[in-house]
Amino acid sequence: MTRPPAKAPRLSEQLPDPAWLERVARDASRGAGGVPVELLGGFLPVLAEAATTGRRPDKGELDAVGLNGRRAAELGVSAGNAVQLYLSAAWRLWRELPAVVRFPDADTTATAAEAVMRAVDRAVASLAEGYTAARRDMMRSEETQRRELIEDLLRGDADVGALVERAEPFGMDMAQPHQVALATPTGRLADAEAALSSLERAVVQGIGDRDVLVATKDGSIVVVAPATTAGSGAVGKTRGLGELMHSDLRRAPRGGPWRIAVGRPHPGSYGIARSYEEAREALGMAARLRLETPVVRAEDLLIYRVLLRDQPAITDLVHAVMSPLAKARGGAGPLLATLDAYFAAGCVVTETARRLQLSVRAVTYRLDRIADLTGYDPTDPANRFTVHAATLGARLLGWPQRDLPTPAARD
């Protein structure tokens, strides 16, 4: 004959009063590292009823636990501590429950234990869902705020007071000098988010987690970083930031090779916009000059900015000094390349020959030919600056690949 299952005792007037559950909740809070006891909500009464009646938590009770998970995330409580609070409360309640409620036999005790475990399992799952949803919403909101902040910083036309206030949660001290670096892929970037996350980790690890903002804009990755960090001196030199970024991005599976430009450091919110414009200009100028170096600094290209401020004058200079090279056999290209290498080598003929993979005699012949055609001897200190400026101007104007404007067209 099958014995009917033992019935678990139901809640009655002998069950613990609220003061007992409140004590268990306070002990659980201390055991979880001081997590606010309010985050337990009505979990302990639900758990006690599950132990004594076998009733499972209903949807409303589980939704309330989920809301407590959201509150935990909003209060900055870690997910581990929030879960620890609930588990700590559960085992403390179960440990003291037999002293309050007498279970008649082992079967009843096992049934109560199963009901408690099921209730804890469902409650913790709801807690984690609420916590995760809140963190996801917070991250989306923070990402939106970060993106809007970067847009306003780079534009430089927002209200300064409000900008300083909005930058504070991101750890940015707007009174300190900052610099902006741009990284542009030359190939197709398959996963921009992965490259962005990896680069942000690298920059934060190399510079620190304060004053650093990383985002995408107009197909480029933008990094706003401090020029200096406390206790580290001038670690924020532009060359260091550019090389740090290049070291990480070159490991990206696609998108490379990367071109990185770094603006000069400037103080204040308007300084960030100024540094950004310098970095943008450096990127464009590096492309026009066909520079091979992967990292360019705005200060290294200042001479080109000076030349471009008076484009008609530099056009006249290139036309007057360089245009006769077009009469050479093979055109102006080889002779202009020789001048580029010659000035890049510090005007050392042997080094120029090595870079061009020519004999010293061939380089000397080309330099003499340039002097004959133009009337300006690049080896003569009196003529060297003129020839060098005209060579730089030719590169900026894209000559001889593109025709120079005529004087009549410029008037």
DSSP 103-134: -SSHHHHHHHHHHHHHHHHHHHHHHHHHHHHH
Residue 232 has pLDDT above 70, yes or no: no
pLDDT at 409: 46
Which region among 21-35, 340-354, 391-405 has the lowest average model confidence (pLDDT)? 391-405
Instruction: Return the percentage of the chain with pLDDT > 90, whole number.
Output: 36
Residue 159 has pLDDT above 80, yes or no: no
Q: Where are the domains of the chain?
A: 18-136, 164-304, 310-410
Residue 188 has pLDDT above 60, yes or no: yes
Residue 410 has pLDDT above 60, yes or no: no
Residues 225 and 179 sit within 8 Å (Cβ to Cβ): yes
Higher pLDDT, 69 or 311: 69
Which region among 6-10, 250-254, 290-294, 402-406 has the lowest average model confidence (pLDDT)? 6-10
Higher pLDDT, 346 or 166: 346
Residue 147 has pLDDT above 70, yes or no: yes
Domains 164-304 and 310-410 share a fold: no
Residue 195, classed as helix, strand or coil, is helix
Residue 403 has pLDDT above 90, yes or no: no
73-116 pLDDT tens trace: 999 999 999 999 999 999 998 887 766 566 667 777 788 888 88
Residues 183 and 260 sit within 8 Å (Cβ to Cβ): yes
Average pLDDT across the chain, whole number: 83
Residue 26 has pLDDT above 80, yes or no: yes
pLDDT at 153: 87
196-223 pLDDT tens trace: 777 878 887 777 656 788 888 888 889 9
DSSP conformation class of 211: S
Higher pLDDT, 297 or 409: 297
Residues 18, 23, 25: CA angle, nearest 5 degrees: 95
Which CATH number fits the domain 310-410, given the four candidates 3.40.50.720, 3.50.7.10, 1.10.3720.10, 1.10.10.2840? 1.10.10.2840
Tracing tokens 């009469």 back to the chain, one arrives at 327
Mean pLDDT confidence for 182-189 = 77
pLDDT at 325: 92
pLDDT at 311: 81
Instruction: Return the percentage of the chain with pLDDT > 70, whole number.
Output: 86
Residue 231 has pLDDT above 50, yes or no: no
pLDDT at 201: 80
Question: How much is the pTM?
Answer: 0.61
339-363 pLDDT tens trace: 999 998 999 999 999 999 999 999 9
The backbone region for 93, taken as left when phi is positive above 0, alpha when psi lies in -120 to 50, beta otherwise, is alpha
Tracing tokens 């942000």 back to the chain, one arrives at 200
**Buried (b) or exposed (e) across 208-238, using 16+ Cβ within 10 A?**
beebbbbbbeeebbbbbbbbbbeeeeeebbb
Q: Rounded CA gap, 350 and 338, in Å?
A: 12
Mean pLDDT confidence for 16-29 = 83
DSSP conformation class of 222: E
Q: Rounded CA gap, 116 and 91, in Å?
A: 10
Mean pLDDT confidence for 36-56 = 89
pLDDT at 173: 81
Q: For domain 164-304, give the CATH number.
A: 3.30.70.270
